[in-house]
Amino acid sequence: MITGHGDDAYQFNYEIVSNFSSNVYNKFDLKDLKEYLWANIASIHSYPEPDALTLRKLIGKKLNISSEEISVTNGATEAIYLIAQAFRGSKTAVVIPTFREYEDACEIHEHSLYFIESLDNIEPDTQLVWLCNPNNPTGKIYDKEYLKGIISSNPNTCFVIDQSYAAFTENKIWNASEALNFNNVILLHSLTKCYAIPGLRLGYITAQKDKIDLIKHYSMPWSVNQLAQLAGLYLLENVTYKFSDYLPESQRVQRQLSEIFGIKVYMSEMHFFLCQLEQGKASDLKKFLIETEGFLIRDAANFRGLDASYFRIAVQDKMNNNLLIKAIEEWTKLSF
Amino acid sequence: MITGHGDDAYQFNYEIVSNFSSNVYNKFDLKDLKEYLWANIASIHSYPEPDALTLRKLIGKKLNISSEEISVTNGATEAIYLIAQAFRGSKTAVVIPTFREYEDACEIHEHSLYFIESLDNIEPDTQLVWLCNPNNPTGKIYDKEYLKGIISSNPNTCFVIDQSYAAFTENKIWNASEALNFNNVILLHSLTKCYAIPGLRLGYITAQKDKIDLIKHYSMPWSVNQLAQLAGLYLLENVTYKFSDYLPESQRVQRQLSEIFGIKVYMSEMHFFLCQLEQGKASDLKKFLIETEGFLIRDAANFRGLDASYFRIAVQDKMNNNLLIKAIEEWTKLSF
């Protein structure tokens, strides 16, 4: 387990005023969900369904696929670790820079790993490819037609496509039903990011039944707790997310930051994006922002392919975004 | 993942009046815990600590051991699956009849498994032994001095001792600090059973640091959700469990059931115990009890070493215990 993921406020003795460090929109209003959980709090006294059957059925209904083409997981993270087990020892490619857990899970389960920056560089005999789409931390979105071409021309390679951030893009990416046309595609989904509930741990896998059965062979019972399962049932029936105001604000923040001397912004269509310092270390900027403003950003040094000069920002509300821009500008003036 | 664990009320279209099927005391009053979780419900918007550092520190303080000798897990079940991974391919013994997940987890991770009914039958070159103490489903409690002898005379064998039911016995079994004297002992602990919170999923492992490090190598981050971590912090600081009234009631129910013609009771010092039908199937009795009384019992047919004639009961409150005894007697009269 690496340390240094985002949302690491617990490591600091400062009150966090605004959290730009995890790719979760923290201003989502979930009063009704919370009241629903409170109304059902007595459910903590019973075991959860061992494989979340009721929630699988509801997801299946919503996505127009079978509950047997779904596995509900303890966040997308459990999905990653189960797939790494199911493909133990495979020749495996990870498209970088990206979320670190693909690599970590595959190392634990003795994959023969290599790293590529483009899907055009998949080596022969590769059994598994990990792709985050939209990608964390870059916000890059792969075109669906391009992906179809790559997947069709590599029929013996299984593609795990992590769509945890799907809800935040208006771009056309896969839906679960389309992806089921391919036997060599496994989609990962997260409810953590779009509903702002990373504390509950809830995700799911969709794939053809033979792939789901393979993954379930490695699953343990009860991995998703009662309140997480209940939250999933409630949210899918009652809450529609809408991020249309959020993406233009991300564009605005990216433009303004890119005008600061010494900051390079890697433009992204998403609500989060990668920045690079032309000099100095992101860890120093992070420390400054916590101490002066109570703002938490993601030091991106531990993404493979990046270094200590990179950091990631997930935009929040306009007022705090503006304060962040000002504080970063101030730091560059003090440091450069 | 096997089906047919206890607490499977969700599989039936009957209201469950009393649940004798899981080894959890369902009458525990946890109003304060629930209010604490409600007061902290906004924590679902943040990631949990990836490896439950704060909770590990508190457990360490309470048990007088180091937080580095502890790993907090998503129920004891995650602990079982992680240990099975860490000892992948080992020659492994399971003391039966017992909780099925030891066997399942080891099969997934390609252990060379064998089954023994006594610790005196450990074969040479065994690398791992699973023992549930007190044992589920029999309630058998292994004497500490006897265990010390076995463990000392098998220094190259690692003993995983699952003490999930430790809180329910007044017998002297290991505490975490004592067990740390042995490099070849790993203790499993559950907060699920003693605090009646199986819906939250919370357990932990204690062992010498090198064993914990080995197990943590296989761990994923964030496996224990926010509300489970918070519940652990609250319960350890504020709630003391007390089962002194509960054990004599178990003795009473065992005696009364043993007087019914056609029912054999395997006497247990615990709050749960195993019964055997002299004729007929436990699954039929289970169906009868659900349909006539809304009582759920555990069909024990899927415990290795047992068969379709066995069932397990965890006693509940006196009124329902009496109704259960009466209903079982009625079924035997109708069936035999």
Q: Are residues A155 and A209 in the same domain?
A: yes
* pLDDT at residue A239, rounded to an integer: 87
CA atoms of B189 and B179, how far apart (whole Å): 12
Q: Domain limits at B13?
A: 9-28+243-335
Instruction: Read off the amino acid at residue A150.
Output: I
Residue A287: the pLDDT is 95
Peptide bond into B124 cis (omega under 30): no
Other Cβ atoms closer than 10 A to B43: 17
Find, in chain A, the residue whose alpha carbon is nearest to that of B52: A10
Q: What is the pLDDT of residue A10?
A: 66
A168 or A237: which carries more pLDDT confidence? A237
| pLDDT-derived band at A169, boundaries 50, 70, 90 | confident
Give the pLDDT confidence score for residue A26 in this predicted structure: 62
Report percent pLDDT > 90 for chain B: 82
The pLDDT tens digits of the residues spanning A67-102 come to 999 999 999 999 999 999 999 999 999 999 999 999
> Does the pLDDT of residue A210 top 60, yes or no?
yes
**pLDDT value for A4:** 65
Measured at the CA of A168, the angle between CA B225 and CA A86, to 5 degrees, comes to 55
Domain end among A190, A221, A238:
A238
Q: Is the pLDDT of residue B10 over 70?
A: no
Q: Looking at residue A205, which CATH number applies to its domain?
A: 3.40.640.10
- Same-domain check for residues A24 and A36: no
Q: Are residue B49 and residue B124 in the same domain, yes or no?
A: yes
- Chain A hits for B227, CB-CB cut-off 8 Å, are 199-200, 225, 227
Same domain, A101 and A210: yes
Whole-angstrom distance, CA of residue B111 vs CA of residue B90: 5
Residue B133: name the closest of B88, B83, B175 by CA. B175
Q: How many C-beta neighbours within 10 Å does residue A148 have?
A: 15
Residue from B139, B131, B241 nearest B193 by CA = B241
**Which CATH number is A255's domain given?**
3.90.1150.10
Q: Does A241 touch chain B (CB under 8 A)?
A: no
> Would residue A2 count as lying in a domain?
no
Least confident piece of the model among A291-300, B21-30, B172-181, B274-283: B21-30
Last residue of a domain, one of B238, B263, B286: B238
Q: Could you give the number of structural domains in chain A?
A: 2
Tell me: do B22 and B35 sit in the same domain: no
- Sheet containing strand B298-299, edge to edge, reads B263-266, B272-277, B310-314, B298-299
* Residue burial A274-284, b: 16+ Cβ < 10 Å; e: rest: bbbbeeebbee
Residues A18 and A132 occupy one common structural domain: no
10 Å CB burial of residue A241 (0-12, 13-18, 19+) is middle
At A11-65, the pLDDT tens digits run: 767 788 888 998 776 666 789 999 999 999 999 988 999 999 999 999 999 999 9
Give tens-digit pLDDT for B84-95: 999 999 999 999
User: Across residues B240-255, what is the average pLDDT?
Assistant: 87
B-chain residues within 8 Å CB-CB of A10? 49, 53-54
Using CA atoms, how far apart are residues B231 and A52, in angstroms rounded to an integer?
22
Closest by Cα among B173, B175, B166, B164 to B201? B164
pLDDT recorded at residue B245: 74
| Chain A contact present for B144, CB below 8 A | no
Co-location of A290 and A273 in the same domain: yes
Annotate A214-267 with DSSP letters as a single string: HHHTTPPTT-S-HHHHHHHHHHHHH-----TTHHHHHHHHHHHHHTSTTEEEE-
- End-to-end C-alpha distance for chain B, whole angstroms: 35
pLDDT digits 0-9 by tens, A219-230: 999 999 999 999
Measured between CB atoms, does B252 come within 8 Å of chain A? Answer: no
**Which of the four pLDDT bands, split at 50, 70 and 90, describes residue B8?**
confident
In a domain? residue B196: yes
User: CA of A291, closest CA in chain B: separation in Å?
Assistant: 20
Nearest CA-CA partner of B253 in B97, B135, B136, B139: B139
Please report which helix (H) or strand (E) contains residue A187, including its range: strand A185-190
In a domain, A170, yes or no: yes
Whether residue B203 is found in the same domain as residue B249: no
Q: State pLDDT tens for residues B190-214.
A: 998 888 899 999 999 999 999 999 9
What is the band of B76 on the pLDDT scale with cuts at 50, 70, 90? very high
Same domain, A203 and A72: yes
B163 is a domain residue: yes
Q: Which of A243-257, B104-118, B233-247 has the highest mean pLDDT?
A: B104-118
- List of chain A residues whose C-beta atoms are within 8 Å of the C-beta of residue B223: 74, 77-78, 201, 223
Chain A: nearest CA to B333, how far in angstroms? 32
Helices B31-39 and B226-238, packing angle to 10 deg? 130
A247 token code pair: 């993406």
pLDDT band at B1 (very low <50, low <70, confident <90, very high): low
pLDDT of residue A231 exceeding 90: yes
**Which residues in B44-120 belong to E strands, given as ranges?**
70-73, 91-95, 112-116
Residues B50, A1: C-beta atoms closer than 8 Å: yes
Domain boundary among B217, B238, B259: B238
pLDDT of residue A234: 96
CA distance A268 to A140: 6
- Asked if pLDDT for residue A1 goes beyond 70, the answer is no
DSSP A264-311: EEE--SSSEEEEEESSS-HHHHHHHHHHHH-EE-EE-TTSTT--TTEE
B83 contact residues in A (CB cutoff 8 A): none
Angle at which helix A75-86 crosses helix A209-216, to 10 degrees, equals 90
